[in-house]
Structure 1
Amino acid sequence: MTPGNNGASTPEDDDPFGYLYADGQANGAQPPSGGGYGYPNSVNRVRAVGTRQYGQQPQHAQTAPYGQVPQQGTYNQPSAHYAAPETLPGGATTAQQQVPGGGGGGRGGRGPNHKGLLIGAIAVVAAVVIGIGVAMLGGDKDKADAGNETGTTPTQSQESKPSPSSSKGGGASQVELPKSDAKAMRLGQGVSTASDIKGAKADGGVYVTGFNHVGATVTWSVDGVKKAGNYRLYVRYAVPGVDANATLVVNGDPQDRPLNMENFGGTPKGDYEKGWKETWSNVSLTKGTNTIEVACNEGNQCDALLDQFYLTKG
């Protein structure tokens, strides 16, 4: 196969700049002048702007040199190449809808409120900072309170033994209020003292016996009540495994409720020594001297031994 001056047989063999090279000039390449790319008989692919037609070109369409606007028609009038669907017979009509509140990018709408977003973000950050500060202050306060409470918590021994200051403030101290035992009581008919049964706390283990008959009385003259008011009368007693009760008379006034001397804990029947217990009843006393009487009246069950009497603030 020998080379020949046939030009560019196919478009891809064209070299638009062949006239610049020696081999191109030897093959007859010329600078383009409205024809091909420079080779003789090369494919002519240059076409004036506006002369190519696609499909059916309207007969009245005119071409114009490149860069110039065709003369026919008027500005803003529909082109013959395109017609909107709504202009055709039977075409659907369309309506423009306005976005509520105005568009974000049009002239009539308003853009995003960047200032409002910035203020909101600053408010959130400020709220978080304030919350953290309050939490830190609260934690410090709790620690301080815990440290203060540590020094004021009483020990077990302090709770079991009231201090003199607390006794004076509450008025409930057994030392401050009157106290008596069997030897200081005024005994009625048929009532006496004894000490052969162990367990009595009175001095010398002395207790009152013979109280188990109607008409028996034990009277305590209470001196030194500093303030009128309600008090609790405590009575220490022993029962032989059965319940007992008596009538309580304060300053000559019999009380509605009896003094209950029950067999708490269910101690063995007939055993006084294991039956020592304690009971109490509310009494209203006047300032100064008061009289408290424990009597065995009709309807009472009085089989009991009496040991000590004392008052606390009610």
Structure 2
Amino acid sequence: MTPGNNGASTPEDDDPFGYLYADGQANGAQPPSGGGYGYPNSVNRVRAVGTRQYGQQPQNAQTAPYGQVPQQQGGYNQPNAHYAAPETLPGGAPTTQQQMAGGGGGRGGRGPNTKGLLIGAIAVVAAVVIGIGVAMLGGEKDKDNPDDQAGTAPTQSQNAKPSPSPSKGEQSEVELPKTDAKALRLGPGVSTASDIKGSKADGGVYVTGFNHVGATVTWTVDGIKKAGSYRLYVRYGIPGVDANATLVVNGKPQDRPLNMENFGGTPKGDWEKGWKETWSNVILTKGTNTIEVACNEGNQCDANLDQLWLQR
């Protein structure tokens, strides 16, 4: 049907703005006057507020004047006798809203979402446990890796700085030279002896008479494959009193003396228990080098010398 022929039967067929369009004007649509719609014979379904009813209206119900709110009947959650939802009237739109089922709480509402809270708490605990596990695995890895641990410094050394670890190529080189008292070239007033026990040199022989200025022992080192820094070790014996000497490498005196302290606190006068080791860094050239231990002015040289050797 068209609004111009038979008229609109329901509000859904009416167009309040039909007079604005060409097809509406062709069908005789006029601007609304008196509350009607834009097409001719349109339905005027305007009702005064409070005239719709929900179910049966009680006998004592009163219709409030226009613009005033009618007195509520019934208690909480009870239908209002003066109000009827559009969907309850003939031709009204169906409603899709459904009453919420099952809820906790004294007023029919839903209670707190305890299931969601429980799931969230479990997720937090799981994340903490995973983090602790990862940290423990990382700690075990560091513990098992010897490269991450600091090495211990030598207890009897002149230089407290740690020496670099040799590479695989250096470890495969021929063993570095080593000598003892009988292979050293002795200076004036210096001799060898073997009456004090504890010497590690061949036959228990050690250098004695090194306790005066001008005393020297010289070691000619052959077979240095590569120039660079080496560590010179010296085994010495003292009578419980600190001593020192001057190192001369390839004719050049070292600025720092060779330290021969009484490490460990050996009793004074006990030569037999006074055997100790010390070391100092030296710079050597490729091939042959000379290393001299000398008692110069300012040195305290009351010591016996047993062995000398090199390390990278």
TM-score, normalised to structure 1, is 0.50
Between structure 1 and structure 2, the one with the greater Rg is 1
More helix by share: 1
